[in-house]
Amino acid sequence: MGELTTDPSTVLETFKGLIAAEGLLARREGLQAGDVEDGITDDPTLLRYLEARQMNPKAALKQFQEAAKFQADRHILRLYDLISMEHYEETRKLYPHWTGRRDRRGQPILALDVAHLNASTMTAWRKTRDISRHTEINSPDPIIPDMEQRAAIHFDSLTRFVLPLCSAMRDRPDPTTPITKSIYIVDASALSLKQAWDLRDFARDISWILATCYPETIDRIIVGNAPFYFAKIWAFMKNFVEPMTADKLVITKSADAYATMAEHMEHQDIPSQFGGGFQFTNGMLPDLDEGIRQALRWTSGGKEAFPQGPLKWTEDDNGQRRAIATGSIDGRERSEEIALLSQELPN
């Protein structure tokens, strides 16, 4: 019980000592010059692992080792810079993706329309599940990441780019506390019993990746417009979802979806499918809120928007952070500066 009642900062230092002793606090292979380590070994990330294991450093170390091994064996950090735009965007549409909006606490709002997870989409997803697990990142041949690699790269974009961006914003109730979680909105209006059955492997695989490599990144999952038979679907589906993730679900009927979401976010940030003022379509690029747009000095030809493909933060010797578009286009690695993060952020 002593570990559970110790000051979090003391527990964090103990945890960092254990990680350092295993050689896991050093800069990771695959990062490029200037890449920040947010979402990898920074304090907010380490605290997420501790939270997932009830602030027990030894238990958190075991999970951190498992995640680090997965990321190293699967070359996730290097593939973040090499994945093709096409593969990245195909993957982004499969999972809850950032809308560009935040809730009242400053957490990013991610959304997904289950209608997109239809039979043809799942067939394509299963093909990526069967790809050889021995990706040669230095091969002259085109790199084709498998399902696990693509999913990890997608969620890396959340932990390495979106969460640090939201943490930097000062226009939130507690700007001194880093943003480490996000709120998910899922439109389940099109979900059928057959579709739920077809999604069982999909649910199992993504649940494992989230729980192991991205613990405690979900604040809650609001399932909106749930059909009347959803209780039967969930009784079956929850067997394929990690218990800690399942506990975060809030299931609402059509009549209750807007009111539930309005407890956490403004009208203009609630998708119109639930009665809000935000025109969301599955797979759309982030439609940034005004606070975030003002916090960035755009250097990409005056367009105040993020492009397709993965984004990452780099930092120079003066502490200036730059949003860099990475990934590859037609086999050529991309490194394009999109915006600078203002060092005098509006409140």
Residue ranges per structural domain of the chain: 22-341
The pLDDT tens digits for 111-135 are: 999 999 999 999 999 999 988 655 5
The mean pLDDT value for 137-157 works out to 88
Per-residue model confidence (pLDDT) at position 230: 86
* Segments in 22-146 forming alpha helices (H): 43-52, 57-73, 76-82, 85-92, 119-129
User: Which CATH superfamily groups domain 22-341?
Assistant: CRAL-TRIO lipid binding domain (3.40.525.10)
Q: What are phi and psi of 152, to 5 degrees?
A: -65, -40
pLDDT by residue (tens digit) across 209-258? 999 999 999 999 999 998 888 888 888 888 888 888 888 999 998 999 99
| pLDDT above 50 for 4 | no
pLDDT for residue 6: 64
130 versus 161: which is more confidently predicted? 161
Say if residue 305 is exposed, middle or buried (CB neighbours under 10 Å; 0-12, 13-18, 19+): middle
> pLDDT grade, residue 293 (50/70/90)?
very high
The percent of residues above 70 in pLDDT, for the chain, comes to: 94
Q: pLDDT at position 135, please?
A: 59
- The mean per-residue pLDDT over the stretch 202-208 comes to 91
Q: Which two tokens stand for residue 306?
A: 């993020």
Give pairs for 248-253: CB < 8 Å, separation 24+: 248/218, 248/219, 248/220, 248/221, 249/220, 249/221, 249/223, 250/220, 250/221, 250/222, 250/223, 251/223, 251/226, 252/222, 252/223, 252/224, 252/225, 252/226, 253/225, 253/226, 253/228
**What are 78-87's pLDDT values in tens digits?**
999 999 999 9
Tell me phi and psi for residue 328, to 5 degrees: -130, 150
Q: Residue 239's pLDDT is what?
A: 83
Residue 1 is predicted with a pLDDT of 32
Q: How far apart are CA 218 and CA 245, in angstroms?
A: 8
Question: In this structure, which long-range contacts are made by residues 171-179, counting pairs with CB atoms below 8 Å and at least 24 apart in sequence?
Answer: 171/106, 171/291, 171/345, 171/346, 171/347, 172/102, 172/105, 172/106, 173/104, 173/105, 173/106, 174/105, 175/106, 175/347, 178/43, 178/44, 179/105, 179/106, 179/107, 179/108
Q: What is the pLDDT of residues 35-51, one digit of tens each?
A: 999 999 999 999 999 99
Judged by phi (left if over 0) then psi (alpha if -120 to 50, else beta), residue 223 lies in beta
Question: How confident is the model over 16-33, as a mean pLDDT?
Answer: 96
Q: What is the dihedral of CA 79, 119, 269, 263, to 10 degrees?
A: -110
